[in-house]
Amino acid sequence: MGSFKEAEETDKNKMNTKMNLEEKVQQWFVDRNLHEANPVKQFLKLMEESGELFEGIAKDKSELIYDALGDIQVVMIDLSNRSRTVLRFQRINRNLNYY
């Protein structure tokens, strides 16, 4: 059984991998100038991919399931980053309106 320190290092490595994935995905959106696209289209893409996921589950097609899950993750990363930006902007405006 591993030590607490080993478990902590494993958790840090997982977090670094996650951050690298998020950074790569966000760069992918920037490279294609999609980061400024209408977020409603991203939500529609999320619904489309959810439909593909459900189809994969219903038809027991693991390749379709994995593909849909990957696409959903990409869209969710983008929507998450957009919402953080919006929340930051709203917070700044709220602070500016206070003065």
Residue 87 has pLDDT above 70, yes or no: no
Angle, alpha carbons 34-38-40 (nearest 5°): 120
The H or E element that residue 54 is part of is helix 39-58
Chain center to CA of 6: 28
* Residue pair 86/64 in contact by the 8 Å Cβ criterion: no
Residue 12 has pLDDT above 70, yes or no: no
Q: Is the model's pTM score more than 0.75?
A: no
Residues 15-28: tens digit of each pLDDT? 566 567 788 888 88
Give the pLDDT of residue 76: 86
